[in-house]
Structure formats: structure tokens, C-alpha cells
Amino acid sequence: MKTLKFKLYQHKRNRHLKRMINAAGVIYNHCIALHKCYYRMWGKHLSCAKLQAHIAKLRKRNLFWQSVGSQAVQDICQRIEKAYQLFFKHNKRGVRPPGFKKVKKYKSFTLKQAGYKFLGGNKVKIGSRVYKFWKSREIEGTVKTLTIKRTPLGELFMVVVVDEGNKPEIEVKTGKIAGFDFGLKTFLTCSNGTCLEKSLLLGEPQDHVFRKIESPEFFKQSLNAIKIASRQHSKKLKGSSNRERARKNLVRKYEDISHRRRDWFWKLAHELTDKFDVLCFETLNLKGMQRLWGRKISDLAFGEFLQILEWVAKKKNKLVVFIDQWYPSTKTCSCCGHVLEELDLSIREWRCPSCQSVNGRDENASRNICAVGASTVGLSDVSRVIPAIAV
């Protein structure tokens, strides 16, 4: 499966799509109200099939609801059902059930088997109207779903999920494994240069060449512009056109930050997967770190980077390994294995009391993560990544 995103041309007929998104938001809120009412009356969860059948009857008597396709209405019920299932599964972790949303902030609707048709070129028919989009790439494969998404700026995008089938891809194997340590001062500290075959099968120590990857901290760079735009927005009269103009200006600042950060993440993910076949990371409690360091963790966005890296690694048939969250990678000497009892965050280098070696905090952690990750990778996984080792 592959997701493609295209921007729709600005045109007055796009008002119909925005009207459909607003109708989808109204239906969503009505479904949430039905769920709450059903639970108060019967003390049970309203099933997705019953909700879809009831909404189908109500839709016949409401012209505004009929502007949304029947499959889009079914998808709204399925979204709510999925949200409730996640709530039931992670109830003890503070996950909340789905709630009401403002209609003007409702984002999208999805069409699956019917309701749309590609007419060739850059034209697509949704409902009874034809729309044009920026065709930045060819749509290859079978189209599974089509989603119309509205951004806070009011722009419309078309998100297409395509099944490419068994498409052959060019794979480049390097036979190397590396450990990466995430930090506040340095985004990633890499212990590159370790041969995967020797580290897994022969157990011979290899020389590590450490490379530090600094984060551009895009939010910190644009903080002054964000403050100015936010101040201008707060001074405008509520409900006025000037306030709406200032709001869009503030949204553009945030979108520019997210676009630059995501572009940097994709380039870094491709660079790392081209150099290494196995990438080892430490499992981190990012929510707890965000409570401690706040905006710094949000600006680094390490969780978003891991999602992109896993997708790229899966596409290139590479392996991403996560070691145990409670493994003391920073306090363990990578030379002799001695574990310190305590190590303050302010200490960047420390001398091992057992072997007297001087260890850099991040470099030592990345070396330990690489060693533990290599030991946890099974030979079946290695043969999948590098077939030559299995031979």
C-alpha cells in the first residue's frame, strides 16, 4: 500500500467539497450523540452495524446529509468504532473516548469503492462534479480509497491510497549495523562502521567512528516570527476579517515549520537506510520526556522521525531494532560492562572505575545500543536483511 497526496486547484466549485466536509462533521457529531444516549439508556456500546443502519434511515430525510456519499457516511461510523475500540483497549492509560468536534474544524471524508472516478490527466470526478489537481506523480496500481482533506488554511488536498502489488525494488546491501542514541543536545549520535557479519557471527570488536547529527530545531529558529504572528492575531477583534487574516498568517508559520522538519526527516531517513542494514534505537518514554522538557522535545519530534524511518526501512528491506527501555545504556561502560549506580544529566564524560577508560555520554550509549541490538537480532532476521550471511 502506498499513499499519494495531491493538491486540488483553487476554484469556486470547491465550495461543494467544503460543504460535504461540513456535512460529514454534522453527521459525526450526531453519531457521537447517539453513542452517548445509547449508553445512558441501555448501558451498552452501540455497534457499528446498528449505527450505520440508523444513519442510513436518517440520511434519506435530510437533504444536507445527502450531499455526502453513502460510503463516506459508513466510513464516519467506522472511524468512531475504531476510536471506541482504542478507548476500550487503553482505558487505563488515560485514553479518552471520541468526543464532539467543531464542524468548521472537521477535516475530511473518505470514499472507498464508489463515489469517485479518475478521468485521465489531472481530472477526478467526485459525486457529480469534476475537479482538477496538481498531478505531481503518476498514480500506479489499484486505487483503494480516496480522501478529501481540508487544512486549517482552507486548502483542499486529495489523498489516494494505492495498492502497487508485488513491485520489484532495487535493494542496496552494505552489511553494516549501527546504534543511535537520541539526546537533547545532539539529535542522534551514531556508532557507525560496525560490520554486521562479524558483530553477529564472530563477536569480534570493531572500531567505532562516531558521527553526531545535530537537529536544526526549526521551531526555535522561527520562534520570533511565531511570537509576532501570535501577538498580531490576539489583538484583532473576534469575528472580524482582520482576525481571520491574522489566523491564516499564524497557521502558515506553523505549516512552514512542519514542512521543513518533515523534509529533513525524510532525507535523513533515506541517508541512514542507505548506509546501514540494521539500525538500533532505544525505546523511550517520549510523553514523559515531554512533561519534563516540554517544547524542546516537541521541536525535535523524535517520534515522527521514527515513524518515517520505519516506513523507509520497510520499503528498502532494512531492519529497525528497539532495545529494552530500562537497559542502562548510558551508565554501562562499553569497554568492560561495568554499570554505574548513578550518573547525573550534567555529566557529559565519565571515567570507568573498573577499566579506567573515558566514555563520552552519548558515544558510549550508542555503542551499547549497537551491541545490545546486534545480540537481540535473530539469524532469521539477518538472513532476511542480508541473504549472503545465511549462506
DSSP 311-352: HHHHHTT-EEEEE-TT--TTTB-TTT--B-S---TT--EEE-
For residues 187 and 304, the answer to whether their CB atoms sit within 8 Å is no
Q: What is the mean pLDDT of each run of 10 residues along the chain (391 residues)?
A: 91 92 96 95 93 94 91 94 90 81 94 90 91 91 93 94 74 82 89 50 45 90 95 95 95 95 94 91 89 90 94 90 88 85 83 84 88 74 49 31
Helix H or strand E encompassing 158: strand 156-163
Per-residue model confidence (pLDDT) at position 390: 36
Per-residue model confidence (pLDDT) at position 339: 84
Beta-bridge mates of residue 158: 6, 148
For residues 133 and 8, the answer to whether their CB atoms sit within 8 Å is yes
Per-residue model confidence (pLDDT) at position 378: 59
Distances (CA, A) of 256 to 8, 212, 237, 262: 19, 26, 26, 10
Torsion over CA of 216, 218, 221 and 226, rounded to 10 degrees? Answer: -170
Rounded Cα gap, residues 160 and 5, in angstroms: 6
Per-residue model confidence (pLDDT) at position 374: 85
How is residue 133 annotated by DSSP? B
For residues 199 and 372, the answer to whether their CB atoms sit within 8 Å is no
